[in-house]
Structure 1
Amino acid sequence: MNERLRLAMTKRGVSPEALAAACEVDPKTVGRWLAGRLPHPRHRWTASELLRADATEIWPQSTAAPAVSAGPDALVAATYANRASVPRDLWLRLLEHAERHVDVLVYSGTFFAQSNPHVAEMLATRARHGAQVRLCFADPMGQAVARRDQEEELDGTMAAKIRASLTYYRPLLGQDRCEVRLHDATVYASLFRYDDELLANPHIWGQPASANPLLHLRRAPARGWFDHYAASFDAVWTAARPWDGTTARTSKE
C-alpha cells in the first residue's frame, strides 16, 4: 500500500476518481497505484501537481535505482526513450541542487523555460550561491540554425523559436556568474550539466530533439562519457559570442 499517496489524496480531498480524471486513466489504475504500483513519469507529475506534493516523496522508489556501469569510464543513472519522458521533477531537482556548474547547450531550448516559468529566477539563485551558470544557444542568424531548420523542415521557424526562448533569460544579463552566449556550431547533442550529473540528448538527423533519446550520466572516476560531453560543451562555449540582450545578432567583443 502506498500510504504516502493515500495521505496526500486525503489531505487535498482528492478522490481516486478525481485523480484518475486528471491523469486521464481508469480509476482502477489509481487503485493499482494505491496498492503500490509505480505510475508512468507523466502521471506522477500530473498527480504531484494536483496534490501539491513532491513526486519523489510520494514515490521514493522512482529515484532509488542506482547508477549502472556502462564500462569503466561511464555511469548511466537512467536512459529515456525521448526527452519528453524525463520527469519534470528530475529537471527541477538537478537545478535546485547544483552548487558549482550549470551548463546548457541547445539550439533553441524552448522547453527549458516553457516547462519551468521560474527557470531564470532559479538560475540566478544558483549563481548567488556560487554556481557558474553558462547558457549557450544557437545564433538565430547563423548558418547552423539555417541548416538545422532545413533538416527538420521547419520552414524558417527555428530562428523565431530561439529569439522567443532568449527573452526568458534577459534578467540574467549582468548578473555575477551568469553568462549567455550564442554559437554557430552543429550540435550533436543538447547538453544539460549540473555539477557531476549531465543529461545528454543526442540528435537524430531530421528529428526534433524532444523526440530523441536522453542519457542521464554521472561523472565516473575514470575519464569517460561525462567528461567527453563536458569537453564538447567547453569547445562550443569558447567559440561562441556573448549575447547582448538583443535577438537579432551576437554581440561584438
Structure 2
Amino acid sequence: MRNDRLREAMLNRGVTLPMLAEHVGVDPKTVERWVTQGRIPYPRYRRPIARLLKQNETYLWPDAVTAKRKTELAKSELVTVYPRRSAVPNDLWRDFMDQAAERVDILVYAGLFLVEQDRRFTDKLRAKAEDGVQVRVLLGDPTSPEIERRSLDESVSGVMASKIRQVMDRYAEVRDVPNVAVRFHCTTLYNSIYRFDDQMLVNTHVYGLPAPHAPVLHLQQLSGGEFFETYADSFDRVWQTATSDWPSAVAR
C-alpha cells in the first residue's frame, strides 16, 4: 500500500526521491519502495526523514512502533521529574539554550523568571536567531480574561497581566529580528512548555499554586516516541490560534 502521507510531505517540502535518498544515505529505489509500497524504513532513517520533512514519525509511519514499544519509549523519554520549577538547576536552562542548534520554543503566560535569572536571555535569543535557530515565543495576552482567571487562581488579581507586560518590554528588543517570532495567546494553559531542539521542560500547572511551585518534567525526544511529541503538538496547536498583533501598550 502506498504511503500517501510520506508522498504528500515530500511534495509539500519540495523533496524528491533522489534528494531524500542522499539525505539518509540509501539508494533512490529504496526510497521509492518506502513511498509506493509502504515499506517502513529502519528507525535510524525515520527520524532524519521526519525532521527533514517537518513531520512526526508517528504521522508518517503510524504502524512502525507497537503499543507496547511506545509505552517503553515514553518511559525512556522521561529523563527526570523535578518536584517544583525552582528545583530545576539554573545551569540546565543555560546549557539547553547554549546547545540549541535548530529551534527554541517557549509557551508560557509570562515566563518572567527566564529574563530575571539571566539578564542576557533576550541577547542570547538574538544570537541564536542570527545563527539560524528558529525561535518561537508564545506569551499570554495580558488583556484576555484567561489571564485574569489565572491571576485569580493564584489569589492575586492582575498579577499575571503585570508579569506579562514586564516581559513584553524585553521581548520587544528582538521582535524584529529575523527567525524570531512572538505571538500572544488566550489559551487556558495546563502546562508551560520550553523546548530546545530535542530537549524539553514541561512545567505543569496546578490549581492554586504559582508555576515555580509546580512539578517539571524533563523530556528528551526519542525516535518513535510519543511522550515528547504530545507536548510539541500542543505547542503547535496554541501557535496556530495565537496572534502576532502586540497589545497596544508596547505596539510600535
- Counterpart amino acid of 1:141? T
Match in the other structure for 1:93: 95
| Higher mean C-alpha displacement, 240-249 vs 98-107 | 240-249
Alignment of 1:1-253 (within 5 A): 71-74=72-75, 75-244=77-246, 246-247=248-249
Structure 2 distance, partners of 1:107, 1:233, is: 13
Structure 2 distance, partners of 1:223, 1:239, is: 26
Task: Check whether the contact 1:73–1:222 (CA below 8 A) recurs between aligned residues.
Answer: no
Match in the other structure for 2:18: none
Change (3 A) 1:70 1:83: farther
Task: Check whether the contact 1:172–1:178 (CA below 8 A) recurs between aligned residues.
Answer: yes
Q: How well do the aligned residues superpose, as a CA RMSD in angstroms?
A: 1.9
In the TM superposition, residue 72 of structure 1 has moved relative to its aligned partner by 2.2
Match in the other structure for 1:38: none
Same amino acid, percent of matched pairs: 34
Change (3 A) 1:245 1:126: farther
Task: Check whether the contact 1:170–1:245 (CA below 8 A) recurs between aligned residues.
Answer: no
In the TM superposition, residue 100 of structure 1 has moved relative to its aligned partner by 0.7
Unaligned runs of 5+ in 2: 1-69
Structure 2 distance, partners of 1:81, 1:72, is: 22
Structure 1 distance, partners of 2:71, 2:89, is: 22
Structure 1 distance, partners of 2:96, 2:83, is: 20
CA deviations over 1:56-88 (Å, ceiling 9, x no partner)? xxxxxxxxxxxxx97323512221110001111
Structure 1 distance, partners of 2:141, 2:163, is: 11
Task: Check whether the contact 1:120–1:171 (CA below 8 A) recurs between aligned residues.
Answer: yes
CA deviations over 1:141-190 (Å, ceiling 9, x no partner)? 01210111111111222111110111111111111100111100011101
In the TM superposition, residue 248 of structure 1 has moved relative to its aligned partner by 6.5
Change (3 A) 1:127 1:248: closer
Structure 2 distance, partners of 1:71, 1:167, is: 43
Task: Check whether the contact 2:106–2:136 (CA below 8 A) recurs between aligned residues.
Answer: yes
Task: Check whether the contact 1:191–1:201 (CA below 8 A) recurs between aligned residues.
Answer: yes
Structure 1 distance, partners of 2:147, 2:78, is: 30
What TM-score do you get using the length of structure 2 for normalisation? 0.69
- Counterpart amino acid of 2:84? N
**Deviation beyond 3 Å, 4+ runs, structure 1:** 243-249
Of structures 1 and 2, the one with the larger relative CO (CA 8 A, separation 6+) is 2
Structure 1 distance, partners of 2:246, 2:161, is: 17
Q: How many residues align?
A: 182
CA deviations over 1:82-139 (Å, ceiling 9, x no partner)? 0001111100000011011100000111101001100001011111111100010000
Unaligned runs of 5+ in 1: 1-68
Task: Check whether the contact 2:221–2:228 (CA below 8 A) recurs between aligned residues.
Answer: yes
In the TM superposition, residue 244 of structure 1 has moved relative to its aligned partner by 3.4
CA deviations over 1:9-28 (Å, ceiling 9, x no partner)? xxxxxxxxxxxxxxxxxxxx
Task: Check whether the contact 1:166–1:247 (CA below 8 A) recurs between aligned residues.
Answer: no
| Higher mean C-alpha displacement, 86-95 vs 76-85 | 76-85
Structure 1 distance, partners of 2:146, 2:134, is: 26
Task: Check whether the contact 1:191–1:233 (CA below 8 A) recurs between aligned residues.
Answer: yes
